[in-house]
Amino acid sequence: MKKIFCTICLIAILVTLYVLLTSKGEPAIRPRVGEVTDPILVSVIQNFADAVDETPRQPKPRMELGMTYEGATLNKLAEQAYNQYTEQFPKQPKAWFYFCV
């Protein structure tokens, strides 16, 4: 009986670790083709969005992407990025500030 219980606990732990390690966050918010015409800005946005996609569970790249959109006055994209951030990281107060401004 004890072996069965230990086996079940081990399986539960392994499944939990698998889900946590393989789960991905939402993909980065990206502008539509032609929405951004400045080639330098397109490159910068691409780099930030790629960083979000590479580490979807990290808050910093997602916040930086939203701030990049805001700085480029792409307010609709900034709002979407901040909304995505607040959904994934609800306990991060910095995102709520940017989302409200």
Could you give the 3-state DSSP secondary structure of residue 46?
Answer: helix
Residue 85: CB partners within 8 Å, gap ≥ 6? 59, 62, 63, 66, 92, 95, 99
Distance CA 72, CA 4 (A): 58
Instruction: Give the residue carrying structure tokens 């996609």.
Output: 53
Distance CA 62, CA 98 (A): 12
Amino acid (1-letter code) at residue 22:
T
Q: What pTM, to 2 d.p., does this model score?
A: 0.71
* Domains of the chain, residue spans: 2-100
| pLDDT, one tens digit for every residue, the chain (101 residues) | 777 765 775 676 765 555 455 556 789 999 999 999 999 999 999 999 999 999 999 999 999 999 999 999 999 999 999 999 988 888 877 666 665 65
What is the CATH architecture assignment of 2-100? Answer: Alpha Horseshoe (1.25)
**Over the range 59-72, which residues count as b (16 or more CB within 10 Å of their CB) and which as e?**
bebbbebbbbbbeb
